[in-house]
Amino acid sequence: MILSRRTILNYLYSTGLYSIVSPSFGNIITQDNSHLKNFFKFSVGKINVTVVSDGSFPMPISSIAINASEEEVKSHLEKYNMPNDHINRETNLAVIEVEDKTLLVDVGGGSRFFGNTGKLYENLGLANINPDSITHVFLTHAHPDHVLGIRDEFDENIFPEAEYIMSQNEYEWWTKPNRVNEVEETFQQIVLNAVNSLSALAEVTLYNEEKEIVPGVHMIDTSGHTPGHNSLIVHSEGAKLLICGDALLHPNTSLVFPSWIPENDMDPDKAIISRKKVLSLVTNEKMVLLGFHFPFPGVGHVIPSGNSFQFLPTSVRW
Ligand SMILES: [Zn+2]
């Protein structure tokens, strides 16, 4: 039997032995390996991409699926040798360098978010990326783990010289006057966080079309998780990468059960359609996928597997 790299990765991943991805699995507790998840560089044709971690945070397993029972979710996680009392959410930001432009995708939760986040600046430094070189910032959506880092510790816009870009539907939904009083009480803080973060920006460029925002990088509508959630497709010399934001949250849940509805999906029906759209794009066109909350660095291929999908994560070298 000849073991291909893909077979080995599949094996490691399915058995949970792909060890930098999770703080614990089965009865093994991994030590602090955070030095392995600062940044990850690869290229898409002529475009250089660096995944930069803003850190990670835990979420309760009740956040994984509101249309599956707790027992069902727990036993599914156990099948994958994952902890059954929480799910770890990495934050894989992307820096895309093309021609004279440097585009950052999402800014992360910054130091005001919970968990072990707020690592963006430190990890940009380790990746040898000067924060002043960032010319554009694209926001996939306005949830706090993606935008709260807009304000630095002095309460100022962290990238004041950059052009911020996001979907018009997204921006207008969150910033609609009196929105905070139209949502449930438990959701009000999330609205306030979004408004507070977006109001730090003097200007935002808004689009509602599949716009090319820097050469070789297009927006694509993947709404549902939030009203105007958008993803990006990066393409160069026949190679393509899809940066899916929160359209897919974790390879072992969203890809196995695309119809599971995460607690934070604001329009569940639309979000399922967007999840399936992303999965069919990456499988049919053999695009590389980058998942914001996937185990670091969140980069890999997706293949169909029966009625669901399987993620084949990258190793350090392809
Ligand atoms: Zn998120």
Q: pLDDT value at position 28?
A: 65
Distance CA 297, CA 318 (A): 13
What CATH number belongs to 5-15+36-313? 3.60.15.10
**Region 15-22: what's the mean pLDDT?**
39
**What percent of the chain shows pLDDT beyond 70?**
90
Report the separation in Å between the CA atom of 31 and the middle of ligand 1, taken as the mean of its atom positions: 25
Q: pLDDT value at position 160?
A: 96
Report the separation in Å between the CA atom of 222 and the middle of ligand 1, taken as the mean of its atom positions: 14
Residue 223: pLDDT over 50: yes
**How does residue 318 score in pLDDT terms, banded at 50, 70 and 90?**
low
Q: How far apart are the first and last CA of the chain?
A: 21
Report the separation in Å between the CA atom of 237 and the middle of ligand 1, taken as the mean of its atom positions: 30
Strands 47-59 and 116-117: antiparallel
Report the separation in Å between the CA atom of 101 and the middle of ligand 1, taken as the mean of its atom positions: 25
Report the separation in Å between the CA atom of 75 and the middle of ligand 1, taken as the mean of its atom positions: 24
Question: For 94-137, how does the pLDDT look when each residue is reduced to its tens digit (9 = 90+)?
Answer: 999 999 999 999 999 998 898 889 999 999 999 999 999 999 99
Radius of gyration of the chain (CA): 19
Report the separation in Å between the CA atom of 120 and the middle of ligand 1, taken as the mean of its atom positions: 15
Distance CA 107, CA 110 (A): 8
Report the separation in Å between the CA atom of 181 and the middle of ligand 1, taken as the mean of its atom positions: 23
Report the separation in Å between the CA atom of 88 and the middle of ligand 1, taken as the mean of its atom positions: 12
Q: pLDDT value at position 233?
A: 98
Structure tokens at 148: 């709260």
**Region 278-298: what's the mean pLDDT?**
96
Query: Element (H or E) spanning 186, and its range?
Result: none
Give the rounded distance of the alpha carbon of 149 from its chain centre.
Answer: 15
Report the separation in Å between the CA atom of 43 and the middle of ligand 1, taken as the mean of its atom positions: 24
**Cβ partners under 8 Å of residue 61, min gap 6:** 70, 73, 74, 77, 84, 85, 86, 87
Report the separation in Å between the CA atom of 89 and the middle of ligand 1, taken as the mean of its atom positions: 8
Report the separation in Å between the CA atom of 2 and the middle of ligand 1, taken as the mean of its atom positions: 39
Report the separation in Å between the CA atom of 151 and the middle of ligand 1, taken as the mean of its atom positions: 17
